Amino acid sequence: MTILEAIKARHSVRHFKDTPIPKAAAEALENVIGDCCRESGLNIQLVQNDPACFDTLLNHYGRFRNAVNYIAIVGSSSDPDLDERAGYYGERIVLEAQMLGLNTCWVAGTYSKGKCAADIRSGEKIVCVIAVGCGEDQGKPHKSKPLHKLCGVRKADMPVWFKNGMLAATLAPTALNQQKFFIDLRDGEAVITAPKAPMAMIDLGIIRYNFEAASGHSCTAKSDAKSGLLSRFKKYKINFDGCKAGFRDPAECFRVGEAVRLCFDMIATDTNYTFLVDGEPFSPRYEDHCYVLEFAMPDHDVTIKVNSRNVMLREFPPAETE
């Protein structure tokens, strides 16, 4: 199984069989965890046969079943990048577990930190746990947002490596499946941004690992405090400069990167039309008796102007004077 196949096959599983993790799989998982700890400085631990950690009120209502094995992600409480680091290396372990025939579920809130059996040293804290074991099923795929709401690059303009990375990013697990991230291609480098919020930095690390593992390219991850991600979710307006009546039911507000499609169908015979987008000439496509303007919404309002000229008007030369 390749890493991309593992990303596609892996879904959250909360119901596990009442069987231990096979010995060979547990040993392989411990080896991967050891590698991740050495690279990251985290204190990641595989805890087996500990039902107390998931013995919480929410879990009595069927959220988890036979969840007695988990990966505890622990790290320095003074590390400013702890959450993102936890997400990045945790996802690496999750995908290795998938390739070992195991199933997993990221858990940030519905477990008991007080009952967790992980060894947490002075100056450390637990970030989250990942339930792991042999699932009763393989889980179900989650719904994903349209690509233009997650990425600032048109699909037709994506290099193959970037397209593979985007596919993996859209399949990454995120808190409540909110997918609060945005990926751009800047000077040939992928840049992933996410809002600075609880669990969002864990999600950012997960997404970054999926993107890098599937694309083979490193990328930069940023929070909105540094990169202004909130503007990515802000909607900007289309201003029609005296020409709105000529467009067919036009939407007027779009998010950054969202696909804009405008159809101008007030077309007169013997008339030439020119279109301007923010003062620059724009060449629309003629389709189904209308001119179609398509572009990705930039991070500002856009002004559309349409000029027309009747080509049947006869121009007379100026009168000669004696």
Tokens of 144: 């994903």
The model's pLDDT over 129-186, given as tens digits with 9 standing for 90+, comes to 999 999 999 999 988 988 888 998 888 889 999 999 999 999 999 988 889 899 998 8
CATH fold match for the domains 3-133 and 147-232: yes
Helix (H, G, I), strand (E, B) or coil at 227: helix
CATH 3.40.50.2020 fits 3-133, yes or no: no
The model's pLDDT over 251-287, given as tens digits with 9 standing for 90+, comes to 888 877 778 899 999 998 889 999 999 999 999 999 8
> If we measure between CA atoms, which residue out of 149, 150, 300, 305 comes closest to residue 237?
300
User: The pTM is what?
Assistant: 0.71
Domain range annotation of the chain: 3-133, 147-232, 235-310
Q: What is the fold of 147-232?
A: NADH Oxidase (3.40.109)
Strand partners, 263: 292
E strand intervals along the chain: 45-47, 70-76, 103-107, 124-133, 182-186, 189-194, 219-223, 235-240, 253-255, 259-264, 271-277, 280-282, 285-287, 290-296, 302-310
The model's pLDDT over 243-255, given as tens digits with 9 standing for 90+, comes to 999 999 888 888 7
* String of DSSP letters for 153-180: S-GGG--HHHHHHHHHHHTS--GGG---
- pLDDT recorded at residue 195: 81
Q: What is the 3-state secondary structure (H, E, C) of 235-246?
A: EEEEEECCCHHH
- pLDDT recorded at residue 214: 96
